[in-house]
A = this chain, B = another copy of it.
Amino acid sequence: MLAVDKQSSEFLYRQVIDLIAENIESGALRPGDRLPSLRRMSVRIGVSIPTVRQAYIELERQRRVESRPQSGFYVRGIAGNPLVRPSPPDADRLAQPVSVSGISLMERVYDAIHQPDVVPFGIANPCMARPAAKSLNRAMKRVMSRAEERSITYAPTHGDPTLRRQIAYRYLDTVGSTIEPANICVTNGGQEALLIALQAVANKGDIIAVESPTYHGLLELIDSLGMLAIEVETCPEDGVMLDSLRETLKAHPVSACLFSTTLNNPLGASMSEKNRKELVEIIDQNGIPLIEDDVYGELLFSGHRPKPAECYSKSGRILTCGSFSKTAAPGYRIGWLVAGKYMEKVKRLKRSYSCSSGLLQQLTLSEFLASGDYDRYLHMLRPALQCNAERMRSLVAQHFPKETRTSNPVGGSVLWLELPGDISAENLFDDAIEAGISTAPGSIFSPCNCYHNFVRLSFGHPWSSKIEESIAWLGARVQHQLNG
């Protein structure tokens, strides 16, 4: 109950602090929740705005809440678990290029995601936390009325020119980078961008350097193309470790690097600008191409949009893969590839692999960007994801064994957990799917099946009591395995 006693000898701001603290302890205010605004709180409990502000600042000093610029004060997550460690658990196994294994487990993970009514912890689908369906459907209807026949016909092979201009403008607007629309090829989602990028710069049998851990879709692709993967140690707070990369490049004839410097999946790490510049120097010195998987670059909770590595290089050897699948419409299958000096080859590959991408979806996204709806949507989505992240971390701290380590993602929609002892995430996956919960076991994030005791959980869905119960169920299951 929100009330203060003006007769009490206790300072009013102290009483406000106690009120908030009680609400946090009772669970009425949960990690990630926004405190009422200064004005609203002041009206509600009848104290002055400066008094409320004093209370909030003290709560921030006590690390119980945090302020976010232009947004307000939020309840912090429980400090809880230790962070996952920078070096991978089987560092000695990383030193060699390998054929990707574990494909059949990936297949089971995909199958699990699409079971009806499953709790979707196994899929990274951030925009489903607050889907923009209404607004996108409206935009699509406008396109259909305006351009009836165009809505069913072929797009130009490398993409609708208006959408390519808008993607280029967005790079200029968010990171100040001048990318020519003619250097952008629209693709069937980020995955086709990665396929074409890899085929443009490497051949069967070639070695591709990847982060450890990295997104399983990259690994399956590398395997499909008959290429080999070599893992580079990756820090859960700053991405690829550059000394480790230098050693890898010295020891092996790597044909290309495939990294997510703006936001790693599953770690949720974003490389510092300083390191990203240095990475580009290493790449340029070695004369090898870098494929940047930048599909999460717009989803840092802070709203800060890191510059893709491309911005620091003049070599033309950096290919940036982007997508609207993580930021707006997964099912539209619209991504893009900024192709540097490989553009001619990329256009040809795109044409021969799939002709062109859906025109109606391109026109709809064009409309969605031009109207400002895309920006407004991201502005709403990022704090929603951050709130979910904090709730999930707090629940993990509450329900999982205390030795469990977790990542502290700065964006995106996934949490990376290191389970204690010898617990097998694959067994957990099997048990959980029986209970209607999908998870992503750690070994699919490594070509040589490291991370067998890690699990990736997605928080990109509307929060619900079912979600909370499912986290509790997983925690209890792990605890049970640990005891037994």
Known: A141-B141, A204-B204. A195 touches B131 (CB 8 A): no
Interface of A is mostly: helix
A317 neighbours in B (Cβ, 8 Å): none
Stretch of A42-50, A66-74, A147-155, A168-176 on the interface side: A147-155
**Residue A349 is within 8 A (CB to CB) of chain B in the complex:** yes
| A195 engages B144 (CB within 8 Å) | no
Are B188 and A354 interface neighbours, CB within 8 A?
A: yes
Contact between A332 and B133, CB atoms less than 8 A apart: no
Nearest CB to that of A161 among chain B residues?
B114
Complex CA gap A349/B224 in Å reads: 7
A114: nearest chain-B partner, CB-CB: B156
* Chain B residue contacts of A223, Cβ below 8 A: 352
If A137-B144, A360-B331 touch, does A352 touch B195 (CB 8 Å cutoff)? yes
**A187 CB, nearest partner CB in chain B, Å:** 8
CB pair A351–B220 under 8 Å, yes or no, is: yes
Min C-beta distance of A185 to chain B, whole Å: 13
- List B contacts of A463 (CB < 8 A): none
Which listed residue (B107, B151, B153) contacts A348, Cβ 8 A? B107
A360 contacts across to B, CB distance below 8 A: 331-332, 361
A107-B348 Cα distance, complex, nearest whole Å: 8
CB-CB nearest in chain B for A106: B351
- Count the copies: 2
Please state if A331 and B153 are interface contacts (CB–CB under 8 Å). yes
With the chains together, A243 CA to B51 CA distance in Å? 94
Q: Flag whether A157 is at the interface (Cβ < 8 A).
A: yes
Q: When the two chains form their complex, are residues B125 and A154 in contact, meaning their CB atoms are under 8 A apart? A: yes
User: Is A110 part of the binding interface, using a Cβ–Cβ cutoff of 8 Å?
Assistant: yes
Tell me whether B330 and A191 are in contact (CB under 8 A).
no
Given A134-B148, A141-B144, A333-B188, A217 contacting B352 (CB threshold 8 A): yes
How far does the alpha carbon of A154 sit from the alpha carbon of B189 in the complex, in Å? 11
Residue of B nearest to A205 (CB): B204
Q: Output the least CB separation between A203 and chain B (Å).
A: 8
Q: Quick one: closest B residue to A143, CB to CB?
A: B137
Residues 337-359 (chain A) with a chain B CB within 8 angstroms? 347-349, 351-359
Give the chain B neighbours of A356 by CB distance below 8 A.
331, 333
- In this assembly, does A221 line the interface, its C-beta being within 8 Å of a C-beta of chain B? yes
Contact indicator per residue, chain A 115-128, by CB within 8 Å of chain B (1) or not (0): 00000000101011
Q: Name the B residues within 8 Å of A267 (CB-CB).
A: none
Q: Is A242 an interface residue (CB 8 A)?
A: no
A202 proximal to B (CB < 8 A):
no
In the complex, are the beta carbons of A333 and B355 less than 8 A apart?
Answer: yes
Complex Cα spacing A155 to B148, Å: 25
Contact B154 A330 (CB under 8 A): yes
Seed contacts A107-B347, A123-B154, A217-B355; 8 additional CB < 8 Å A-B pairs: A128-B153, A152-B330, A152-B332, A188-B192, A192-B353, A224-B349, A325-B355, A331-B359
Across the A-B interface, give the 8 residue pairs with the lowest CB-CB distance, nearest first.
A331-B359, A224-B352, A220-B352, A188-B354, A191-B355, A221-B352, A152-B329, A114-B156
A-B contact pairs, 6 of them (CB 8 A): A107-B351, A133-B148, A137-B152, A199-B224, A217-B351, A333-B356
